[in-house]
Amino acid sequence: MDASPKNADDSEHSEHSALRSVALDDKYQLASGRVYLNGTQALVRLPMLQRARDERAGLNTAGFVSGYRGSPLGNVDHEFWRAKKFLEPLHIHFQAGLNEDLAATAVWGTQQVTLDQNATCDGVFAMWYGKGPGVDRSGDVFRHANAAGSSRYGGVLAIAGDDHAAKSSTLPHQTEHVFKALMMPVLAPADIQEYLDLGIHGFALSRYSGCWVAFKALADTVETSAAVNVDPFAVETVIPADFKLPAGGLNLRWPDPPLVQEKRLLHHKLYAALAYCRANQLNKVIIDSPNARLGIVTSGKSYLDVRQALEDLGIDDAVAAKIGLRLYKVSMVWPLEAEGIRHFAEGLEEILVIEEKRQFLEYQIKEELYNWSESARPRVIGKFDEKGEWSLPHSEWLLPAAGELTPAMIARVIAARIAIYYTSERVAARLAFLEEKEAALAKPNRAISRIPHYCSGCPHNTSTKVPQGSRALAGIGCHYMATWLSPESTQTFCQMGGEGVAWVGQSPFTSTQHVFANLGDGTYFHSGLLAIRQSIAAGVNITYKILYNDAVAMTGGQPHDGPLSVPIIARQIAAEGIRSIVVVTDEPQKYSGALALPSGTPVRHRDELDTVQRELRSVPGTTAIIYDQTCAAEKRRRRKRGKFPDPAKRVLINDLVCEGCGDCSEKSNCMSVVAVETEFGRKRAIDQSACNKDFSCIKGFCPSFVTVEGGALKKGQAATPSEALFAQLPEPALPATAKRGACSSPASAAPAW
């Protein structure tokens, strides 16, 4: 680069260049400023921010995080493990939970630290995480821990991962109703920045009120990424001046009788939470108008949808003023702070509540406004309009409770409601455009619906098969897909940890003598052993197929949360009372040594699975097959890292010999066995790029298969571009951006950074 005299723009250009010098570790290492991270990484950064705030306040605190993985929080443990080197110096400890309620109990323990006279810190701020089903199963812990209270310099956030569309769940979840029943305040962040800002408020709220605080992490936010401000001191928390704490405060103490805890929670702690919300303006008016008539109340992800809907309709602040529109954003959705909502409602004729799933804010708003005089009280609508009834069919819903809301759906409702007060050709044109697009999307298409399938070489291709005349019960895990792929033989499912227990209730009332139950190793370690214990206690005829894949495969290949192996499982279930145990594996030779299986436990090759199942289904009582085969996706990961054997062996299909019968697909059920069109008709081939070397495809009787020993695939080389090709390219002319709307500039103009 040619040297040139410095000018006024050099400092700006230098600053801009510095901004481009970023590193992946900035999201955890940068003391303050802008970083790019996703929602899961924001949850890792949050306790780091809290620790920095405590240090400035002169507090010697520590952090603790525990929970159980599950989409949309499937990678929280991965991310905390990766960030260990940043967390340990800050005394932030991560411990994955065996299951959700045990993790919640560990978090409860952190709030009891200061009861110990040998405590080494002033308090422990803690986070629990789990998806919707984990919230359900942890309710007993939450109820007790919330009643007991948080510690003065501790505080607890319960991060609840909600999957509103059931994209990776057996049912959609909306956990705020559960937290309301447990009397835990609920925060609903709208974006990644609010994961940090509301998270800081959440810890402060928990410390002040003594409550555990729920934090809704919706799939639509936690699985997104954004550039955010990570300044730990950007958020100012205010102690309420209009609330008097009772003698002794609101935090955890000992001894503490149950009725005393109840009174403190209902008479003081929840009102302290409301006072904190009011003092810190967690709920606030975002858009106001001089003569507002229509109010919109929303929260979380729905808030962003509302803003998008308003933009789609062409409603900016000026148009909103003409309409008489007022927008209220609620960050603490329970308990709803009354003073703010009543102030918002003043002068309005109608309040439209926009929220996903079942009514939550809507009911609270109606309750808060009920005692107003009828002349001053606006009508409140949400899921139905003012004429709606629960008996109406789905098509009559204003904003459906089932499924998800979209900005287009919300835009139509907003346009319909503002039409009462305001008409505009611009809004009408925007609405017509949206309706045209929605109508186009609603037209039937001829796309083939693809059922999700196991990975190439997945053990479940073999392990979930049952003999002719038998059926299996499904459970939670990748093997749940057997209900889609083999619905005639694998029927019904249950919650995590209840695998097979449905048969205890069915067996007395059917002539069927026996069923199989699929149980993944991760679920076994989580809670599934109790299901086996229940079946043994009931004396039912059932064979558990414990699918040992050597990883928690469904959420990203995490290791088990403690020591677990085939011998350990075999000894455990033998001690529970199972006498007929068979280990089935694709590598029986690895059990030829001194692996401590229970005495007399046979080890059979997976090719004998059908025979083994036929034998065990005739054995009375509870029996077990431990199917040992490493997850195919995990094999692939480990092979890339040099941590798993990679046999120098490849299988090919000679398409000139192949007759396209499909027996190889039938035997292997493998996605890497693909159909190919040739001049001689449809044949089969092995997709070498996807093959995970399971080799089950060669089990068929077919002369077209060729096995290559010691060979390897040829790898193409990336083209090396010649620098000479690009040396003479001129620098592009950059437009000036000093003024909004400027879209061209002379070639000599300096860039306006």
Dump pLDDT digits (tens) for 4-18: 444 444 444 444 445
User: 268, 246 in Cβ contact below 8 A?
Assistant: yes
Which pLDDT value is given to residue 698?
86
Provide the pLDDT confidence category of residue 725 given band limits of 50, 70 and 90.
Answer: low
CB atoms within 10 A of CB 732: 7
Nearest residue to 346 via CA among 374, 318, 377: 377
Q: Are residues 592 and 703 in the same domain?
A: no
Q: 104-139 burial, b for 16+ CB within 10 Å, e for fewer?
A: bbbbbebbbbbeeeeeebbbbbbbbbbbbbbbebbe
Mean pLDDT value across the chain: 88
Handedness of CA 675, 678, 683, 687 (dihedral sign): negative
Beta strands in 434-541 (DSSP E): 472-473, 515-520
The string of DSSP codes covering 115-138 is GSTT-SSSEEEEEEEEEHHHHHHT
CATH of the domain at 217: 3.40.50.970
Residue 734 placed within a domain: no
Q: Which domain holds residue 198?
A: 25-279
Q: How far is CA 311 from CA 222, 292, 296, 540, 619, in A?
A: 24, 19, 15, 61, 67
Which pLDDT value is given to residue 749?
40
Phi (first) and psi of residue 211, to 5 degrees: -90, 155
Provide the pLDDT confidence category of residue 748 given band limits of 50, 70 and 90.
Answer: very low
Beta bridge partners of 334: 186
d(CA 97, CA 41): 19
User: Chain-centre distance of CA 525, in angstroms?
Assistant: 21
Q: How far is CA 521 from CA 430, 472, 531, in A?
A: 53, 17, 13
Which pLDDT value is given to residue 420?
83
| Overall average pLDDT of the 590-616 stretch | 89
Least confident of 15-19, 47-51, 375-379: 15-19
CA end-to-end span of the chain, whole Å?
A: 20
Query: What percent of the chain is modeled with pLDDT above 90?
Result: 58
Nearest residue to 128 via CA among 188, 80, 84: 80
Q: Are residues 212 and 231 in the same domain?
A: yes
What value, to the nearest 5°, has the Cα angle with vertex 228 and ends 223 and 232?
115
Residue 250 placed within a domain: yes
Residue ending a domain, choose from 392, 413, 442: 442
Sheet holding 350-354, edge to edge: 284-287, 325-330, 294-299, 350-354, 379-381
Which pLDDT value is given to residue 257?
96
Q: Are residues 116 and 30 in the same domain?
A: yes
Residue 263 placed within a domain: yes
Nearest residue to 531 via CA among 492, 563, 560, 504: 504
What are the pLDDT digits (tens) for 647-665?
888 998 888 889 888 888 8
Residue 421 has pLDDT above 50, yes or no: yes
d(CA 26, CA 23): 5
Scan for tokens 């901004």, then name that residue. Answer: 19
Pairing mode, if any, of strands 284-287 and 92-94? unpaired
| Overall average pLDDT of the 273-290 stretch | 96
Residue ending a domain, choose from 240, 259, 279: 279
CATH of the domain at 667: 3.30.70
Q: Are residues 233 and 367 in the same domain?
A: no
Residue 311 has pLDDT above 50, yes or no: yes
Q: Are residues 233 and 354 in the same domain?
A: no
CA atoms within 13 A on the CB side of 624: 32
Q: Are residues 586 and 681 in the same domain?
A: no
Q: Which helix (H) or strand (E) holds 426?
A: helix 425-442
Residue ending a domain, choose from 391, 411, 442: 442
Residue 190 placed within a domain: yes
CATH of the domain at 382: 3.40.50.920
Which pLDDT value is given to residue 552?
77
Q: Are residues 401 and 332 in the same domain?
A: yes
The conformation of residue 296, written as its DSSP 8-state character, comes to E
Beta bridge partners of 515: 542
Identify which has the larger pLDDT, 186 or 475. 186
Identity at 172, one-letter amino acid code: P
Q: Are residues 482 and 555 in the same domain?
A: yes
CB atoms within 10 A of CB 393: 6
Residue 14 placed within a domain: no
Residue 723 placed within a domain: no
Q: Are residues 548 and 582 in the same domain?
A: yes
Nearest residue to 74 via CA among 143, 7, 1, 169: 169
d(CA 325, CA 315): 10
Identify which has the larger pLDDT, 133 or 450. 133
Provide the pLDDT confidence category of residue 750 given band limits of 50, 70 and 90.
Answer: very low
CB under 8 Å to 28, separation ≥6 — which residues?
41, 44, 45, 48, 83, 86
CB atoms within 10 A of CB 353: 26
Which pLDDT value is given to residue 753?
31
Structure tokens given for 484 = 């889609």
| Overall average pLDDT of the 163-170 stretch | 84
Identify which has the larger pLDDT, 44 or 739. 44
d(CA 415, CA 297): 15
Which pLDDT value is given to residue 742?
43
Count of domains in the chain?
Answer: 4
Structure tokens given for 357 = 């799933």
User: 465, 609 in Cβ contact below 8 A?
Assistant: yes
Identity at 700, one-letter amino acid code: G
User: Chain-centre distance of CA 660, in angstroms?
Assistant: 42
Least confident of 64-78, 194-208, 372-386, 453-467: 372-386
CB under 8 Å to 281, separation ≥6 — which residues?
340
Pairing mode, if any, of strands 649-653 and 705-709? antiparallel
Q: Are residues 59 and 88 in the same domain?
A: yes
Residue 395 has pLDDT above 60, yes or no: no
Q: Is residue 640 classed as helix, strand or coil in its secondary structure?
A: helix
Residue 493 placed within a domain: yes
Q: Are residues 563 and 591 in the same domain?
A: yes
Q: Are residues 505 and 611 in the same domain?
A: yes
Structure tokens given for 408 = 């287009």
Provide the pLDDT confidence category of residue 440 given band limits of 50, 70 and 90.
Answer: confident
Provide the pLDDT confidence category of residue 594 given band limits of 50, 70 and 90.
Answer: low
Residue 154 placed within a domain: yes
| Overall average pLDDT of the 335-349 stretch | 94
Structure tokens given for 600 = 């007399």
User: Chain-centre distance of CA 155, in angstroms?
Assistant: 23
Q: How far is CA 467 from CA 477, 482, 562, 585, in A?
A: 22, 14, 34, 18
Q: Is residue 155 classed as helix, strand or coil in its secondary structure?
A: coil
CB under 8 Å to 23, separation ≥6 — which residues?
29
Which pLDDT value is given to residue 739?
63
CB under 8 Å to 554, separation ≥6 — which residues?
74, 477, 478, 520, 522
CB under 8 Å to 723, separation ≥6 — which residues?
none
